Amino acid sequence: MGQLDGKIALMTGAGRSVGLGVAHELAEAGASVAVNDLHRERAEAALTEINAGGGKVIAAPFDVTNREAVAAGIALIERELGPIGILVNNAGIPEGIGATGPFVDSDPAQWHFNLDLNLYGSMYCIRTVLPGMKQRGWGRVIQISSGAGSRGVPNVSIYSAAKAGIEGLLRSVAIEMAQTGVTLNAIALGLMANTGERMGDSPMLQQVFRTIPMGRLGQPREIGAAAVWLASDKAGYVTGQTIHVNGGSVHGR
């Protein structure tokens, strides 16, 4: 019997990398999983990879930054799978926007890409599923965040602001929901293997390695294991927290 048997999960940005790893773990723990991604083909390809542990897995492509699309997408999922009890907000890297660099050189016209995705996208999903969770007396909201949401990390200031913003929302809403059976928590990641691969053998990557006590980058399924625990009944007394899963690093990314 899986820890999440009978639960229904929406996993955003799950067509690849971290989100895909978390979706694998949720499904193997027995949850039915709606695999969301901006790209339909990524969401559908993910289905063929995921081994369901008893629940059903469906593709749920929509843009989390579009409020109407979120409402329509969630309505479709709930018709097909049933009421969502677990929301994992993972979509958080705006595609094609190279928004890294010193704040002093940043283009204000680009700031909204990070805020739209990390802050508004997550808020739209939370706001849509929360009333049902509250009414049914059980729910889990898990936000995939970054060490950059709670510590200074140079050259990702707008991303940091967005992650800090959504973690602040979770902490406050967690208190509002504390007596309803609904918990809201964040998992803050350090640098993950997928990003390490994209960075190649750069001096910057070597520098990051030196800040990770375990001397290696994170794997998506390690984030999934933390998400499964937070989603389980066993974590019912944990709310409003940010759990850092980063190999013991004191520096985020």
Ligand X SMILES: NC(=O)c1ccc[n+]([C@@H]2O[C@H](COP(=O)([O-])OP(=O)(O)OC[C@H]3O[C@@H](n4cnc5c(N)ncnc54)[C@H](O)[C@@H]3O)[C@@H](O)[C@H]2O)c1
| 85 neighbors 134 (Cβ within 8 angstroms) | no
Which member of 13, 53, 139, 224 binds ligand X (CB under 6 A)? 13
Q: How far apart are CA 27 and CA 9, in angstroms?
A: 9
Min dist. Cβ of residue 250 to ligand X (A): 15
| 225 neighbors 25 (Cβ within 8 angstroms) | yes
Establish if 160 lies at the interface with ligand X (CB under 6 A).
Answer: no
237 catalytic? Reply is no
Nearer to ligand X, 28 or 37 (CB): 37
Establish if 224 lies at the interface with ligand X (CB under 6 A).
Answer: no
Establish if 226 lies at the interface with ligand X (CB under 6 A).
Answer: no
Beta pairing class for 242-245 and 86-89: unpaired
Residue tagged active-site, from 120, 124, 159, 237? 159
Nearer to ligand X, 50 or 117 (CB): 117
Establish if 156 lies at the interface with ligand X (CB under 6 A).
Answer: no
Give me the amino acid identity at 143. Q
Listed residue (228, 222, 226, 253) closest to 242, CA to CA = 226
Min dist. Cβ of residue 15 to ligand X (A): 4
Nearer to ligand X, 15 or 30 (CB): 15
CA angle 65/70/73 to nearest 5° reads 140
> H or E segment at 22?
helix 17-28
Nearer to ligand X, 39 or 221 (CB): 39
Q: Name residues contacting ligand X, limited to 63-102 (CB under 6 A).
A: 63-65, 90-93, 95
Listed residue (198, 164, 201) closest to 16, CA to CA = 198
Establish if 19 lies at the interface with ligand X (CB under 6 A).
Answer: yes
Q: Measured between alpha carbons, how far is residue 42 from residues 12, 89, 116, 130 in Å?
A: 12, 17, 21, 27
Establish if 166 lies at the interface with ligand X (CB under 6 A).
Answer: no
Q: How far apart are CA 176 and CA 173, in angstroms?
A: 5
Establish if 12 lies at the interface with ligand X (CB under 6 A).
Answer: yes
String of contacts with ligand X for each residue 99-128, x by CB under 6 A: ------------------x---x-------
Give me the residues paired with residue 86 across strands.
9, 140
Q: How far apart are CA 245 and CA 182, in angstroms?
A: 22
Q: Which residues are catalytic?
A: 159
User: What does the binding site for ligand X look like in residue numbers (CB under 6 A)?
Assistant: 12-13, 15-19, 36-39, 42, 63-65, 90-93, 95, 117, 121, 144, 146, 189, 191-192, 194-195, 253
